[in-house]
Amino acid sequence: MRHTISVLVENTFGVLARVTGLISGRGFNIDSLNVAPTHDASLSRITIVLKGDESALSLCTKQLRKLVNVVEVADFSEGQAVARELVLIKVRADSRTRAELLQIAGVFRAKIVNLTADTLIIEVTGDEGKINAFLGLLEPFGIVELARTGQLALKR
């Protein structure tokens, strides 16, 4: 089963290493990891997406709560959180395909953030389903490069 865990931590050296070490030490494979400061500069939020069974995850979250510098741990079940991801995609675009790519971007409410004679860089945000559908439509044009933030989530 897939889980999204939000860990609010003190913004100090080594916290990320301790958190990820604990998770990987429990046998979880991290699908996505995102870390950034919050509105309070002394705190950071770590958003982790991983796969595993309920009992192992319960033990893992209990142990996370015991770590020094961990302020709060939340395990979001399906529907409990708003989750989004940002992706930048550099795709081949010549004069024949550019109009079609712009139309696809428009349907997905994506932004064109850079334009050259032979490529477009497109920014799109959304849930995993939207992102994967968008990438599927861009594949035939030739994806040159791709960067994904990983999932971010906040409780509803």
pTM for the predicted model, two decimal places: 0.83
pLDDT of residue 112: 97
Gap between the Cα atoms of 11 and 9, Å rounded: 6
Give the single-character DSSP code of 140: G
pLDDT of residue 156: 85
The string of pLDDT tens digits covering residues 89-147 is 999 999 999 999 999 999 999 999 999 999 999 999 999 999 999 999 999 999 999 99
Gap between the Cα atoms of 34 and 2, Å rounded: 16
pLDDT of residue 111: 97
pLDDT of residue 138: 97
Gap between the Cα atoms of 17 and 116, Å rounded: 40
Burial (CB count <10 Å: 0-12, 13-18, 19+), residue 93: buried
pLDDT of residue 51: 83
The string of pLDDT tens digits covering residues 38-85 is 999 999 999 999 887 888 788 889 999 999 999 999 988 777 889 999
